[in-house]
Chain A
Amino acid sequence: MRPIWLIIFATLLLSQNLAFGATDSAYLAELVARSRQLRLAERQEWRKLVHYVPNLISPGVHGLVDSPGFYNAPDGKDNPRSELDATLASFFSDIEESNEQQNPQCVFVARYAWLAEQLAFDPQRLTRRICKRYQQWHAALNPAGLTLVFASAYINSPSSMYGHPLVRVDAKDQDEHTRLLAYAITFAANTDESNGLAFAVNGLFGGYPGAFSILPYYLKVREYSDLENRDIWEYRLNLSREEVDRVLRHAWELGPVYYQYFFFDENCAYHLLGLLQVARPELDLAGRFRWWAIPADSVRAITDHPDLVKKVVYRPASATVVRHRLGGLSKPERKLVKDFSVGRSAVNDPVLGILPAERAAAVLEASQDYASYRRAIGKDDVADPAGLARDLLTARSRLDVEAQTPEIPPPEVQPDQGHRSSRVALGAGRKEGRGFRELSARATYHDIMDSDGGYARGAQIEFFSLALRKYDTGAARVERFTPVNILSLTPRDAFFQSMSWKIAAGWQRVRTPDGNEPLVFSLDGGAGGSWSNQSSTALWYVLFDGSSRLNSDLVNGYALGAGASMGSLFDFNPRWRVHGYARSVRYFLGRRDTTRTLGLEQRIALGRDIALRVDVAHNRESARSYNSATASILYYF
């Protein structure tokens, strides 16, 4: 473009903002020309700041942000170059900052900083606006560093099964003991919807706006660690002062915007990575998650850059602390705890006075923690919980000994160090004397036979598991397709009376009396209990099951049944796990049948992401018994 055309173009751009002069247009034209020369609109920094991603089918890019105010150009969502031109033009605006509005230089404080650096803005020709609100905000955060905080999965609160990440802004005057006072930046869907179905449907089509928010970290700790009982992992990031500021400037830009929230890809994990990656020009954290973002994997995206993590800190949830406190008590002491915390004995019980002060303190602290845990999970069988808490606290404050808080070692495996969350398996086996080969894949995430390191023990969450099987004679066919399969085995003891449960929905082969094996849709659920040994190497469970089947090949087209399953998991060592189980279901409505399975599964982990499985079973279906066996090799990726 010739200079004169650039100036006319610049004048047009500027005319969108009310006040401008000839000198402004001339300088804007210069800036636009230089930005074209430098190809700034194609640079990674620009793509990251405006959140452009490649289009799925057509060439070109589009911006992920859905609020129109985020774009200065009318076609800014799809056109990085015109957005860059319009952004430069907006910087000439003379809007004064107030509580209601900001100058574009302040609204787009990160874009301004980057463009000013690339184009060396001349303050004589482009007035630098003072961004007082941004400065006050920045001063209140008083930033020294950033930490990626990961609230790990807790299966019995279904909302948290995947874990949840947030970014904490660590203050300069903060130490190990005052990090509660830092701020947390989170990304979440904004909705008042309480109807589960409406929520699901709307979330599916991106019907809810997702947005960033910032709030005191202590509110998040309370929510995760105290109310939801989730262990928290903190990954301190190794960023320079300027890198931290780049992220915060961009956070300021993202504060007022919204995105359509899609739960699987454009979710909290994805957008937090999108924010963090502006720290360094070459850093690409979100790119690989375009289609699939699981919060634990977002932690991996960070730890895969070894120079990015300075330190990892583990913060046990309240329930974890209670477990450790109880573990340090003798049996009679534990009984005291139980009696105190449910109000069965009064705190002035003479037994307490016999104990040495340290032991009495340990008992009172454990009682208090356990009583608040019970309140947090909604147990309201104590007559006056507030009075009880006060009695326990007052009694404790009268003992002149140190806090009896137990040392809680962090789990050996961090959430980013467990097996990867997708899995493929290649296997071979026999069923009723016929050989077969099987290829199976699971989109995500963990089952009870996988190694537990980095995951919640006894928590199985599988989404989209598919198995294809080919018998030696015959064509390949779908053997199983299970979109969802959740099993929660939370051990019970005198203090924690969690329920174990399962739910699974999908298609599987079912034998009919005529010998066929149609693919039948089934929906299974169950509830019961599980128990563990002291060292957590063994776990037993009993579940009462309900099952329904739907298929036109079944007589009557459906079957409804009830039954039970029981089993035991045993770890000979961390690599070798054995699972023996028995299950029987009697289908009493629709197509009647009684099915029985007696099986033994074994897993040997060969490495973090590779394992062997050998499964054998004796089955009875449609009044016929048969055996089956499969050996397979599993790879996690």
Chain B
Amino acid sequence: MKKFIAVLSLVVALPTAALAANDNVGGCGVGSLIFKGQSGIGPQVLAVTTNGSFGNQTFGISTGTLGCTQDGVVRSNMKTAMFIDSNKDKLARDMSVGNGETLAALAHLLGVESQDQVAFNRLTKDNMARIFTTESVATEQVISALREVLAADATLSRYQTAL
């Protein structure tokens, strides 16, 4: 009976699995992909972590796909780049209103202290159009523009090193 039940429910569960499987890009490489501005490393990590769980790695990433993650967690030097890469739309949105949890999470990654949070929001709002030159801007450009914007600000320039 339960197997029989499964048949009908399956059809219903199908698209999620198909979605997870479609991004089977694999291979984060050594981070070079970020700087090519290609399909985005977010989906690739997604693909890597949802597939190939049968290697030796816990939370499997098969050999040759090391780079972005180790045992399922994002390598610390990749954290900011991968976050920006996966959240560009929402970051631009948050910057345009000067507020929001995606922007707060970015500030956290950059180590922005609480007393500088308002100034950080203000600065990114004023420079939103500079940081996101087009909506399909490459992650690399977002990072370097953000670095420049931070560097030009007296109080916030110390946070550019985190980028």
Q: Do A and B come from one complex?
A: yes
- A residues near B (Cβ < 8 Å) are 67, 99-102, 133-134, 136-137, 140-141, 157-162, 164, 173, 176-181, 183, 188-194, 196, 199-201, 203-205, 208-209, 211-216, 218-219, 222-223, 226, 252, 255-258, 262-265, 291-292, 361, 365, 368-369, 372, 385-387, 389-390, 392-394, 396-397, 402-405, 443, 463-464, 483-484
Classify the secondary structure of B's interface with A: helix
Q: Among B11, B74, B95, B126, find the residue whose CB has the most chain A CB atoms closer than 10 A.
A: B11
Residue interface mask B75-103, A partner, CB < 8 A = 1: 01000001100110110110111111110
Instruction: Give the residues in chain A near B135, CB-CB below 8 Å.
Output: 385-387, 389-390, 393
**Chain A residues within 8 Å of B3, by CB:** 204-205, 262
Q: How many positions in chain B have a CB within 8 Å of any CB in the partner chain?
A: 71
B25 within 8 A of A: no
Subset of 13 A-B contacts with CB under 8 Å: A136-B71, A179-B101, A181-B83, A196-B14, A200-B7, A214-B59, A216-B82, A218-B86, A218-B102, A264-B6, A368-B96, A389-B92, A463-B5
* Cβ-closest chain B residue relative to A369: B93
Determine how close the nearest CB of chain B comes to the CB of A450; give it in whole angstroms.
19
- Residues in A neighbouring B95, C-beta threshold 8 A: 393, 397
- Inter-subunit contact A188/B12 (CB<8 Å): no
Q: 0/1 per residue, B48-68, Cβ < 8 Å to A?
A: 011101111111100100100
B160 in the interface (beta carbon within 8 A): no
- Is B21 positioned at the interface, with any CB of A under 8 Å from its CB? yes
Q: Return the contact of A183 from the options B73, B82, B129 (Cβ within 8 A).
A: B73
CB-based A-B contact count at 8 angstroms: 237
Apart from the given pairs A183-B73, A218-B105, A405-B97, 6 other A-B contacts in the complex at a CB distance below 8 Å:
A181-B109, A188-B50, A189-B13, A213-B59, A214-B72, A263-B13
Contact of B132 among A365, A393, A402 (CB under 8 A): A393
Also in contact, A189 and B86, with CB within 8 A (given A213-B49, A394-B129): no
Name which residue of chain B comes closest to A182, CB basis.
B105
Alpha-carbon separation in the docked complex, A365 to B126 (Å) = 16
Closest to A291 in B: B2
Assembled-state Cα–Cα distance A183/B54 (Å): 21
Taking the closest CB of chain B, its distance from the CB of A95, in whole angstroms, is 12
Contact of A256 among B54, B100, B134 (CB under 8 A): B54
Q: Report the 6 A-B pairs with minimum CB-CB distance, sorted nearest first.
A: A177-B104, A159-B15, A386-B135, A255-B58, A214-B72, A140-B73
What is the CB-to-nearest-CB distance from B48 to chain A, in angstroms, rounded to a whole number?
9
Question: Are B10's CB and A204's CB within 8 A?
Answer: yes
Q: Is B161 an interface residue (CB 8 A)?
A: no
Q: How far is the CB of B72 from chain A (nearest CB, A)?
A: 4
Q: B17, A191: Cβ atoms under 8 Å?
A: yes
On whether A180 and B101 interact (CB within 8 A), knowing A203-B6, A222-B86, A463-B8, the answer reads yes
Pairwise interchain contact A397-B96, C-beta atoms closer than 8 A: yes
| B37 touches A (CB below 8 Å) | no
Q: Is the CB of A402 within 8 A of B99?
A: yes
* Residues A178 and B105 in contact in the complex (CB < 8 Å), given A203-B6, A386-B135: yes
Q: Closest B-chain residue to A290, C-beta based?
A: B2
B6, A263: Cβ atoms closer than 8 Å = yes
Assess the A216–B74 pair: CB atoms within 8 A: yes
Q: Are A396 and B96 in contact (CB under 8 A)?
A: yes
Interfacial chain A residues near B11, Cβ < 8 Å: 158, 196, 200
Chain B residues, Cβ within 8 Å of A392: 96
A218 & B2 in contact (Cβ 8 Å cutoff)? no
Interface residues of B (CB under 8 A from A): 2-3, 5-22, 24, 42, 45-46, 49-51, 53-60, 63, 66, 70-74, 76, 82-83, 86-87, 89-90, 92-93, 95-102, 104-105, 108-109, 125-126, 128-129, 132, 134-136
User: Which residue, A159, A365, A372, has most C-beta atoms of chain B within 10 A?
Assistant: A159
Residues B59 and A255 in contact, CB atoms below 8 Å apart: yes
Give the contacting residue for A199; candidates B10, B46, B101; CB below 8 A: B10
Chain A's closest residue to B46 (CB) is A219
Asked if A403 and B5 sit within 8 Å, CB to CB, the answer is no
Q: How far is the CB of B158 from chain A (nearest CB, A)?
A: 19
Distance between Cα atoms of A361 and B98 in the complex (Å):
12
Residue of A nearest to B56 (CB): A100
Check A161 against B12 for contact (C-beta < 8 Å).
yes
CB of B16 within 8 A of CB of A213, answer: no
With A180-B101, A390-B134, A393-B93 as known contacts, state yes or no: A216 contacts B10, CB within 8 Å: no
* CB pair B16 A160 closer than 8 Å: yes
Asked if B108 and A178 sit within 8 Å, CB to CB, the answer is yes
Determine the chain B residues whose CB is within 8 A of the CB of A387 once the complex forms: 134-135
Q: Is the CB of A213 within 8 A of B92?
A: no
Other-chain contact of B21, A191, A292, A463 (Cβ < 8 Å): A191
Closest-by-CB residue of A relative to B128 is: A397
List the B side residues contacting A369 at CB < 8 Å: 93
A residues in contact with B132, CB < 8 Å: 390, 393
Task: State how many angstroms separate the Cβ of B17 from the closest Cβ of chain A.
Answer: 5
Which chain B positions have C-beta within 8 A of A403? 97-100
B71 touches A181 (CB 8 A): no
Given contacts A215-B72, A483-B8, contact A258 B53 (CB under 8 A): yes
CB closest chain-A residue, reference B87: A218
A393 pairs with B9, CB closer than 8 A: no
Distance between Cα atoms of A193 and B21 in the complex (Å): 8
